[in-house]
Structure 1
C-alpha cells in the first residue's frame, strides 16, 4: 500500500521561526512512518528547502511544492502546517497550496488571515456575541494620543502588535510613562497595534479539533506566569506553570469550552485551534484565537492532548486524515 507523502512546513519569516522548527520537529518525530512518508520542509527567508535526515537538502519546486532528490520526484499528498506567523499562520501558505490543489492541516486562507489580524478578528467575533476586553487600535502613521488611549482602555493595559505571535513585542503597561516605550517596542514587530484593557481573572487556553466529524474541546489549561503576563519567557523558557486541567469549576470549564467551540464554528475553522481567555468572575473573555498553535514539547496543545490520553501520533494523524477528507 502506497504511503501518504506528508511535507511538514516549518520555519517561516517571523520572530517565531525557531519555535516553528521545534513544532515541526515534534510532528516529524511523532508521525507514524509506517503510514506516512514524511519530509521536513523549511520555508525561510533564504529559500524553501526539503531537509533530509542525512543533512542534505533540495530546493522546493514552487510549481508543485515538491522537489527532486537523487532523481526521485517528491510531491506531497498533504502539507502539515507548523509555521507560526508569516507565511503559515497569515493565510499565505494556505492560499498558495489551495491553488496547487494540495490539502493542508490548518484552516483556510481567509480564516487564517482574519484570525491572524487580532483587530479584525475581534471585531468579527464581537458580532457573534464573543466577549472581549475594551480595546483601541493604532496605526504607525497615526499620532500617539496618550490621553485618548488612557480614557478608552485605562491602566493597566496591554500593548500588542496586531499581527504577531508568541508574545513578541507585547508589553504590559501599568504607568503612563511606560506607554510610549511600549508602543515603540510593538512597532518593531508590526505597523498596526492593538491596545487592550488588562482584565483581572484566571487565564486559560482551550484547544478545539474535529474527530470523526464531531467538534471537540480539549481540557482547559490554566496559565500562571511568574512574569507580569504570559510572555515569551513564560511560554518557552519555563517562567510559568501550565496546569492541565485548569483549577476552575466544572461550570467554568464547560463555559470556556463552549466559547472556544463557538469561535471555531463562527469563523468556520479547520484543523486544530487554540483560544485563550481570561475568566472574569466565571465569564470567559477572549484574548485571541490561534489557527497554527505551537506543537513543541513546551506547547499547550500537546499537553492537552496527552491529558486526554491521546497519543501525539494519533492526534497528528487525525489532522492529516481530516485534511485529506476535506480536499
Structure 2
C-alpha cells in the first residue's frame, strides 16, 4: 500500500499556539504510520516551515503547499488541521486549501468562520431552539453601561473574547469594579467581546465525528474545575480540574447531550472531530460553544472520551483523514 503524505499543521497567530503544538505532538505520535507519512508544518505569520527532528527547517512553497528536500519535491494528500485559533480555525487557511484544491480535515470555510464567531454561532443556533446564556456583544469603541449590564445579567457574569479559545481573556466578574479590567483583558484577544450571565450548573463536553458511513458520538465528560471556572489554568495545569468520563449525570441526560450535539453538528454543517460544550442546569442544556478543532494533547478531553469509548485515537484520526480525502 502506498503511504499518503499528511501535513499536520500547527502553530498559528493566536495565544493558543502553545496548545496547538502539544496537540500536533500527540497526533504525530499516534497517527497510523503504516498508512501515512506524517510531516509537522508550523505556521506563524508568513513563516511556514516543515519541522523534522535533527534536520534544518524547510520552507513551504505557498503556491502549492509543497516543499523540496535534497532535490525531491514532496506533495501532500491531506492536511490535518491542528491550529487552534487564527488562521487555522476561522476559515482563513481553509479558504487557501480550497483554492489550491488540497483536502483538509475539519469544517469547511464557511462553517469554520461561523463557529469561530461565538456571537454569530449563538444567533444561528437560537433559531434552532437551542438554550444558551443571555448576553451582549460589544466591539472596540462601544460604550459599556456597567450598571445596566449588572441589572440585566446579574452578578457574577462572564466577559470573554468573541473569537478565541482555551479561555484566554476570559474573566468571571463578581463586582462592577472588576468589569472594566475584564473588558480590557478580553479585548487583548480580538476586537469584539461577549458579556454573558453566569449559569450555575454542571459543565459538560461532548466530542463527535460524523461521516457518510459512520457516526461516532463520544461519551460525555463532566468538568469540575478547581479554579473559579474552566479557565486556562484548569484546562492545562495538572491537578487543577477533574474531568470525569462518563459524566455523573442520568443516562437520559447523556442521551440528550449526545442528540443535541449531533443536531448542532448537522445544523452547522460540521465535518471532522468537534467538541460541543454545555452547562446543565435546572434540567436544561445551555450551549456554551463549539470547538471545531478541539485539543488533542494527552490531557485533552476528546482523547479521553475516545479512550473511554474503547477506541484508539489512531483509528478515529484515520476515519477523519480518509473522510476528508473522499469528500473533498
- Correspondences of 1:166-185 after superposition (within 5 Å): 166-185=166-185
Corresponding residue for residue 210 of structure 1: 210
2: CA distance between counterparts of 1:188 and 1:293? 22
Corresponding residue for residue 294 of structure 2: 293
1: CA distance between counterparts of 2:89 and 2:212? 25
Corresponding residue for residue 186 of structure 2: 186
* Cα offsets for 1:197-243 (capped at 9, x unmatched): 11111000000102562333110000000011000000001210001
Q: Quote how far apart the aligned CAs of 1:150 are.
A: 1.6
1: CA distance between counterparts of 2:254 and 2:55? 45
Corresponding residue for residue 241 of structure 1: 242
Q: Quote how far apart the aligned CAs of 1:151 are.
A: 2.6
The 1:135–1:299 alpha-carbon spacing in structure 2 relative to 1, beyond 3 Å, is same
Point out where structure 1 has 5 or more consecutive residues left out of the alignment: none
Q: Secondary structure at the match of 1:207?
A: strand
Q: Quote how far apart the aligned CAs of 1:147 are.
A: 2.0
2:95–2:109 contact (8 Å) kept in structure 1: yes
Asked whether 1:310 is paired with 2:311, we answer yes
- Correspondences of 1:86-235 after superposition (within 5 Å): 86-210=86-210, 213-235=213-235
2: CA distance between counterparts of 1:269 and 1:211? 10
Point out where structure 2 has 5 or more consecutive residues left out of the alignment: none
2:132–2:286 contact (8 Å) kept in structure 1: yes
Corresponding residue for residue 275 of structure 1: 276
Q: TM-score, normalised by structure 1?
A: 0.98
1:136–1:152 contact (8 Å) kept in structure 2: no
CA RMSD, 1 decimal: 1.1
2:49–2:59 contact (8 Å) kept in structure 1: yes
Q: Quote how far apart the aligned CAs of 1:298 are.
A: 1.1
2: CA distance between counterparts of 1:256 and 1:227? 25
2: CA distance between counterparts of 1:7 and 1:223? 32
Corresponding residue for residue 49 of structure 1: 49
